[in-house]
Amino acid sequence: MFKKIFTVILAVNILILFSFSGVLGKEKAPYTVGAVLSVTGGASFLGEPERNTVKMVEEWVNAAGGIQGHPLKMIVEDTKSDVAQAVLAVRKLLEKDKVVAILGPSTTGESMAVVPIMEKAQTPLISCAAGLSIVTPKAELDRIVSAKTFEMPKKQNKWIFKTPQTDTSAVEAIYDHMKKKGISKIAIITVTDGFGSFGRQELKRVAPSYGISIVADELYGPKDSDMTAQLTKIKGTDAQAVVNWSVGPPQVIVTKNWNQLSMKIPLYQSHGFGSKRNIELAGGAAEGVLCPLGRLVVAEKIRADHPQKSIIVKYKTEYEKRFKTDVSTFGGHAYDAIMMVSDALKAVGPNKGKIRDYLETKIKNWPGTGGIFNMSPEDHTGLKKDAFEMIVVKDGDWAFAD
């Protein structure tokens, strides 16, 4: 009798043990998020730090136990800086990998190409590019561009968000600085790609409301290797400053040409100048160049009680220790994007609609590397011109401009 009871108890304990072991051994399914970035190709100076950041943060999240116990799985696709590749990558992530959200692309042109796909798929996209046109429906953009006064959009693409400050805010920051310096007549020189074209539009659209007159308007191609002719024309005008709008190698060429021509007027660059590699490639010619940049590039110089301080110092320190190179604002855009999605997944789980709603309504007073974000139905960027500091290149480094 005793032996029979002992056998029954042992059997029950074994069943409980196996059952309990099964629970412990069952891992939660990963939350899968895509990233479409220009890791190689002409815009790799954007996509490489973005890819590095995405993989670094993925490791941080999973080392800390994941998101509510779910591992974060980031699938990074390289667009090779090509619009067609960006479209193919987004389709693959949606249809094959079944991602719940996508980060990127790195450039305005690529982002514009995938916006209709993401809207149709009803899946959140957080672009790492600057153009206001990415988050704004074309009809709404046409309305504000044709308005007689300076207006901002009141409608946004439902599923599209972005983390970089808009080119509109960058223009406003530049014009604020010019007004402080008594500059009212300027020349603009812009590249004929998506980023440059929208920047040119905003430079012209915003100028009247700041009392700025544009006395010269020059263009160049994305693959042009010398802009001396355009700058020589500008030199012959009464412009008090010149603004260049491009990213990557053309910015360096314009900087060198400006320096070679010994132009006596200041050169302002767009917020796409936020990589110290641009200073290095300019070989000393960048001294004195002005640009509106996020506080990430001057992290150590920000006051201790600033809401962004701890975030940007931690990201900058960890990035530079891990990758043995200077941090850039571009990697910071990816950092902000992945952290927003992580917060959304933690709060609402892998439901695309709820993630979208969270991004639009819960990202409030949210400190990131690019500024303090306040998303809303009317603003899927969440940053204004006060997200920028006016920066000057001094002694081969970034410094606050006067």
Could you read off the pLDDT of 285-308 as tens digits, one per residue?
999 999 999 999 999 999 999 999
Q: Are the beta carbons of 9 and 50 closer than 8 angstroms?
A: no
pLDDT 10s digits, 105-137: 999 889 999 999 999 999 999 999 988 999 999
Nearest residue to 287 (alpha-carbon basis) of 322, 318, 262: 262
Residue 5 corresponds to which amino acid? Answer: I
pLDDT 10s digits, 178-220: 999 999 999 999 999 888 998 999 999 999 999 999 999 999 9
pLDDT 10s digits, 344-371: 999 999 999 999 999 999 999 999 999 9
> Residue 274's pLDDT band (boundaries 50, 70, 90)?
confident
pLDDT 10s digits, 30-50: 999 999 999 999 889 999 999
- Distance from CA of residue 296 to its chain's centroid? 12
Task: Tell me what the pLDDT averaged over the chain comes to.
Answer: 93
Q: Are the beta carbons of 112 and 71 closer than 8 angstroms?
A: no
Token pair in block for residue 172: 């406003």
The C-alpha R_g of the chain, in whole angstroms, comes to: 24
Euclidean distance between CA atoms 143 and 160, whole angstroms: 19
Main-chain dihedrals φ then ψ at residue 310, nearest 5 degrees: -65, -35
pLDDT at 23 over 80: no
- Distance from CA of residue 180 to its chain's centroid? 28
Nearest residue to 168 (alpha-carbon basis) of 195, 206, 141, 134: 206
**Backbone conformation region of residue 65, classed left if phi is above 0, alpha if psi is from -120 to 50, else beta:** left
Q: Are the beta carbons of 319 and 331 closer than 8 angstroms?
A: yes
Residue 328 corresponds to which amino acid? Answer: S
Helix axes 44-63, 329-348, angle to 10 degrees: 40
Euclidean distance between CA atoms 107 and 110, whole angstroms: 5
Main-chain dihedrals φ then ψ at residue 377, nearest 5 degrees: -60, -25
Task: Give the DSSP H/E element, type plus range, for residue 319.
Answer: helix 309-323
